Structure 1
Amino acid sequence: MMISRILQKNSINRLTINTINSIKQSSSSSYHTTSKDEVVSMSNIKRNDEFSTLTNQDIKHFKDILGGDDSSRMITDKDELEGFNQDWMKKYKGNSSLVLKPKTTDQVSKILSYCNQKKLAIVPQGGNTGLVGGSVPLFDEIILSLTNMNQIESFDDVTGVVTCQSGCVLETLESYLNAKGFTVPLDLGAKGSCHIGGNAATNAGGIRLLRYGSMHSNVLGIEAVLADGTIMDCNSTLRKDNTGYDLKHLFIGSEGTLGVITKISIITPPKPTSVNVALLACNDFNQIKQILIKAKKQLGDILSAFEFMDRPCIDYVLDHQSTAKEPFDKKSPFYVLIETSGFHEQHDAEKLNAFLENIMSEDLVLDGSLATDTKNISQFWKLRETITESLGKAGAVYKYDLSLPIDTFYSIVEVMREKLKDKAVVTGFGHVGDGNLHLNISTPKQKYSKEFLSNIEPFVYEYTSQQKGSISAEHGIGYMKTGQLHFSKSPASIQLMKLIKNSMDPNVL
């Protein structure tokens, strides 16, 4: 067994929150696709026959490890397997016949040890909310679901450190902490189903990275299981521990290529008591850049989010969300959502009002509205947080998660509109405060198509590389970008990643 997919040209082993599988390159032979129009085609790869095929004896062994074969521990029913085999975007689909649902790290260790000995392929899976095909099997891998490992183990109200199992749902953790006056330093649209272990494995960003930083900034410790079953206990809760290599950081953002995260300790900040949200309309992206500069200077430590949406994004939300309303009397090309959060209501309000007066006096906004109560704040955020869902309802969407320098941040949207013209609707939104653009190319009422994809790739990756950007800001590599890593990483960097991978998982085939 191995904890990853075989390296494709110019890429590192593909495994996301977890994959333990290998594929071979081939000029022919298709193993499995979702449909004839599916973007994901296996025509250039085939299953590595050096890996074993699951047997009844294997299933019996797993039953012994898990203490039974009821659906809370193990799934073999074809209909129940469907949701585990397909990703959230319905873009990637595997053909697994077994889902294992361990409850303890020891069970995970035993499962991986057995699979390593028997050369059985595994793809660990968290909440399965990924957007790059990283949490579902490509072929017939066993699915290792972390759903049952969902316990919050401890919380220190002095240090703010919480320790929990990796299958804990982000929203569940948030509710637990809110009741104690603290909050998770991470907020995602998928928080109702994504797992904290998967958030760490993909180094998830989210809408408040500008304030709290990435998972690398907030994770103090991790427990993980390697491909051979070895349990790596790096789950320290100390803020300072300068004793050699900080091994936990190898697992954060590795997408599971180095091990399966089973436990995590995170430092959490106090929950802000004063929250304000402003929605602004702008005429061009240059105004957004100027507003961002002023927001960082004038709002300082209370600035917690700075998001933008172009007009087509708003149109999709209005078309597909029944409760969404046009934000202003007049439509505008761009919209900015600014959130402040602090602990002094009057002070924060005065600071925000002074900032808004300043940008209005300099004609940087066409219109604006300020929300201070929960209901109105929620309405503003809905315009931003339902964009992805709304795009998905309209048809096939080709999604790109890019980091770009602020000077060229929006230009790729304009370039793609010119390139595709009336073939698709190109939209841009995202976390402009930390340089993360979500580029979406929508083809209403159409299916994913390899022919149409050739109009986008590799152009998008080449353009991003030319701008010294990253082809993956927060979604990860998954299956979608395994062959594109060289656009963001040098040959020397990729080689070093290979060496680290092979040193921790020498049984890679």
Structure 2
Amino acid sequence: MNKTIINRLLVNRNNNHLFKRTYSSVGNKIPRDPKYAVINSKDIDYFRSILKDPNQILTDKDDVDPFNCDWMKKFKGNSQLVVKPKTTEQVSKILSYCNEKKIAVVPQGGNTGLVGGSVPVHDEIILSLANMSKVESFDPITGVVTVQAGCILENIENYLVPLGYTVPIDLGAKGSCQIGGNASTNAGGIRLLRYGSLHGSILGVEAVLADGTVLDCLSTLRKDNTGYDLKQLFIGSEGTLGVITKLSFITPPKPTSVNVALFSCHSFDRVQQVLIRAKKQLGDILSAFEFMDRPCIDLVLKHQAGTREPFDDSTPFYVLMETSGFNEVHDGEKLSSFLESIMGDELIVDGSVATDSKNMTSFWKLRETITESLGKEGATYKYDLSLPIDQFYQLVAVMREKLDGKALVYGFGHVGDGNLHLNISTPNQSYSKDMLDMIEPFVYEYTSKHRGSISAEHGIGAMKSQHLHFSKSDPAIHLMKSIKHAMDPNNILNPYKVLPQ
């Protein structure tokens, strides 16, 4: 058996073709609720009276338009105003006024979401948290950091690394997404397998309710068993129950021993077997386990400079695995034993381990640039699903058969925690209702039939609000609506989102 660890450098190939897509506004489907006021000059004058800096208010169309659309150019609203508070007090005054005047508000972080949750459906004003971007405190003993909601995820990481810590979440959009938006959508990411979800990492939040009330639940305690855990209401509720302005969360020590491995497999069953073996043999040093099908690799090779075929022979499936720990010798021995095991039992066709940062970056590029590469093809219909492992890839095969060559189907995701990213691309085409009707509601029906979730980590937003019943029972939706009404009786916060109309 060949036990040699082979380091492969992925080098230059490029395709710069870009396709201009058209917007698909959910506003065409959901009528504007007439109870909401249309902003006027008096409203803008009031906001100017509390936001002293002229740059905190945007009214010019060219300035407002970037906030009106999502980054995939799939959803587009018609807001006439962006307010950019710098303090919790300013957020409170804005919401208190909007609640009184029945002005609808969309809280917006880095606007990197994929389900239309952070852009207006109609003319709601946009409340951007971008100016609230300070790291307020860090406790080096407990590893608890307290930050304002507008902090960019990568900036928090850059703050923590010199202190020997890291954020417990890692996303492809880390250079532009904001931690408040991550919390509001309960974003998952590639290391959820190691560190768990934000529901476990976040210790406290400060949030402003619809009527302007500032709710201080900004605890830094690991244990607080004093009744209802109110902070959890704001994690994953997508700004519909309140606007998160600050949060505290536990940060783990930054691993000092990291290895990244890339494997090729003949079947998805083999991918599953490698995952089982990894969990058993690698244990707590297993930090990521991602899969990509062959069409994903072809897509990245087509569009990303600095990439090439990872192995001599093409296979249907690829696994990207990461280990991270604190003892290089110990971790290396575990990894070597694991590699011998999966190679000896022929669970993989080929494999390579990167032990330096350059090769690790090259390996991760194959996974992390799939979404960007899809954006260069044309319209992409993205589905973020949780499915039982035995049905995980079956849906991809079913969709390919159903669409019968009318679109390209890609499957990738966080197989370690059961999260499939199903992407359907129509190269050089715009978003089409005919194509959407071929995909939906079938993809949700399939997921529901197999007791999966229609949203694993992206949220519901405007895209899936009318499909919530595929994952939530009628009593559950009724209770969610009751909570919403209790906390936001005028429904001014992020209307038309999450809950079915």
Structure 1 length normalisation: TM-score?
A: 0.92
Cα deviations by residue, 1:286-340 (Å, 9 ceiling, x for unpaired): 0000000010000000000000000000011000001111101111110001100
1:403 Cα deviation (Å)? Answer: 0.2
| Structure 2 residue 22 is matched with structure 1 residue 42 | no
Query: Counterpart of 1:17?
Result: none
Give yes or no for contact 1:426–1:439 (8 Å, CA) kept in 2: yes
- Matches of 1:225 and 1:462 in 2, distance apart? 36
Query: Counterpart of 1:465?
Result: 448
2:462 to 474, 479, 486: 479
1:499 Cα deviation (Å)? Answer: 1.1
- Matches of 2:22 and 2:137 in 1, distance apart? 48
Could you say what secondary structure the match of 2:315 adopts?
Answer: coil
1:44 Cα deviation (Å)? Answer: 3.5
- Matches of 2:275 and 2:31 in 1, distance apart? 48
Give yes or no for contact 1:132–1:478 (8 Å, CA) kept in 2: yes
Cα deviations by residue, 1:134-161 (Å, 9 ceiling, x for unpaired): 1001111111000000000000000000
1:78 Cα deviation (Å)? Answer: 1.0
Could you say what secondary structure the match of 2:200 adopts?
Answer: helix
1:38 Cα deviation (Å)? Answer: 4.7
Could you say what secondary structure the match of 2:122 adopts?
Answer: coil
Residue identity in the other structure for 1:293: I
1:37 Cα deviation (Å)? Answer: 6.6
Cα deviations by residue, 1:220-241 (Å, 9 ceiling, x for unpaired): 0000000000001000000011
Query: How has the CA–CA distance of structure 1 residues 285 and 270 changed in structure 2, closer, same or farther, with 3 Å as cutoff?
Result: same
1:39 Cα deviation (Å)? Answer: 4.0
- Matches of 1:177 and 1:333 in 2, distance apart? 39
1:42 Cα deviation (Å)? Answer: 3.4
Tell me, which stretches of 5 or more residues in structure 2 are unaligned?
A: 1-19, 493-501
Query: Counterpart of 1:433?
Result: 416
Query: Counterpart of 1:174?
Result: 157
Query: Counterpart of 2:182?
Result: 199
- Matches of 1:83 and 1:284 in 2, distance apart? 43
Query: How has the CA–CA distance of structure 1 residues 36 and 301 changed in structure 2, closer, same or farther, with 3 Å as cutoff?
Result: closer
Give yes or no for contact 2:379–2:426 (8 Å, CA) kept in 1: yes
Query: Counterpart of 1:155?
Result: 138
- Matches of 1:194 and 1:414 in 2, distance apart? 32
Give yes or no for contact 1:85–1:95 (8 Å, CA) kept in 2: yes
Query: Counterpart of 1:64?
Result: 49
Could you say what secondary structure the match of 2:439 adopts?
Answer: coil
1:256 Cα deviation (Å)? Answer: 1.1
- Matches of 1:460 and 1:358 in 2, distance apart? 37
- Matches of 2:143 and 2:23 in 1, distance apart? 46
- Matches of 1:36 and 1:163 in 2, distance apart? 39
- Matches of 1:36 and 1:304 in 2, distance apart? 36
Give yes or no for contact 1:37–1:450 (8 Å, CA) kept in 2: no
- Matches of 1:243 and 1:39 in 2, distance apart? 45
Query: Counterpart of 1:394?
Result: 377
Cα deviations by residue, 1:244-302 (Å, 9 ceiling, x for unpaired): 11100111111111100000001000000000001000000000000000100000000
The residue correspondences of 1:203-214 to structure 2 (distance < 5 A) are 203-214=186-197
- Matches of 2:329 and 2:379 in 1, distance apart? 46
| Structure 2 residue 401 is matched with structure 1 residue 418 | yes
Query: Counterpart of 2:11?
Result: none
Query: Counterpart of 2:85?
Result: 102
Identical counterparts, % of pairs? 70
1:108 Cα deviation (Å)? Answer: 0.1
Give yes or no for contact 2:22–2:73 (8 Å, CA) kept in 1: no
Query: Counterpart of 2:17?
Result: none
| Structure 2 residue 365 is matched with structure 1 residue 345 | no
- Matches of 2:60 and 2:357 in 1, distance apart? 43
Give yes or no for contact 1:225–1:261 (8 Å, CA) kept in 2: yes
RMSD after superposition: 1.2
Give yes or no for contact 1:37–1:449 (8 Å, CA) kept in 2: no
Structure 2 length normalisation: TM-score?
A: 0.93
Query: Counterpart of 1:244?
Result: 227
1:89 to 53, 60, 72: 72
Give yes or no for contact 1:38–1:449 (8 Å, CA) kept in 2: no
1:191 Cα deviation (Å)? Answer: 0.2
Give yes or no for contact 1:211–1:305 (8 Å, CA) kept in 2: yes
1:41 Cα deviation (Å)? Answer: 4.7
Could you say what secondary structure the match of 1:347 adopts?
Answer: helix
